[in-house]
């Protein structure tokens, strides 16, 4: 009986590993809402054009991943008014990015501003999305859409600012990078 249970357990382990052995299909295909000129640079010496393939997405571009279609709608600096209860620290500014998500998969998708990170000159910035109206937070059924913002406190003098979105899989995390500045 003990030998039988060991064999059954071994077969269950093999079946589990075989069943979980799938490859995460993350090759974002992108659709452009704007012209190709957003990703092109012109060489002045030969007057030819070549696409810049840096893996980063600009405002107006669409990224399609397994189960999600993500549109980078806008990005702007927020200037607090006289009666606002919050303001950025001295030497900082708020950057607000708006995204639209569409669930193109067959199962529900959970979205939240906490899945986003921001880096200014390679340093992590504080997520301040809860300060603002409409922070990104939704559970989308198949075919449903949601629009929301993510906001970060960024140094005023930052040269390069990127926002990263994490796509989780069982065994891996992939990141999509959106250009702020």
* Half-sphere exposure at residue 109, Cβ-oriented, CA atoms within 13 angstroms: 25
Report the alpha-carbon distance of residue 7 to residue 67 in Å, rounded.
38
Domains of the chain (ranges; CATH) run 25-179 (2.60.40.1240)
Token pair belonging to 10: 């071994």
Report H helices in the chain: 2-19
Note the pLDDT tens digit of each residue in 159-181. Answer: 999 999 988 766 777 889 999 98
pLDDT tens-digit map of 100-124 = 999 999 999 999 999 999 999 999 9
Q: How far apart are CA 174 and CA 23, in angstroms?
A: 13
Lowest mean pLDDT among 30-39, 66-75, 129-138, 170-179: 30-39
For the entire predicted model, the pTM comes to 0.68
- Bridge-based pairing of strands 161-168 and 145-155 is unpaired
């Amino acid at each position: 009986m003990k030998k039988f249970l060991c064999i059954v357990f071994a077969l269950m382990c093999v079946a589990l590993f075989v069943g979980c052995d799938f490859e995460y299909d993350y090759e974002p295909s992108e659709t452009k809402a704007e012209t190709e000129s957003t990703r092109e640079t012109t060489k002045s010496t030969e007057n030819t054009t070549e696409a810049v393939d840096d893996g980063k997405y600009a405002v107006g571009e669409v990224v399609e991943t397994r189960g999600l279609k993500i549109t980078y709608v806008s990005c702007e600096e927020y200037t607090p008014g006289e009666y606002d209860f919050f303001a950025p620290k001295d030497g900082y500014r708020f950057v607000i990015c708006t995204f639209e998500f569409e669930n193109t998969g067959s199962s529900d998708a959970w979205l939240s501003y906490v899945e986003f990170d921001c880096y200014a000159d390679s340093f992590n910035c504080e997520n301040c999305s809860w300060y603002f109206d409409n922070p990104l937070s939704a559970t989308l059924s198949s075919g449903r859409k949601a629009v929301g913002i993510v906001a970060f406190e960024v140094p005023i003098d930052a040269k390069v600012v990127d926002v990263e979105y994490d796509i989780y899989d069982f065994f891996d995390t992939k990141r999509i990078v959106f250009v702020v500045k």
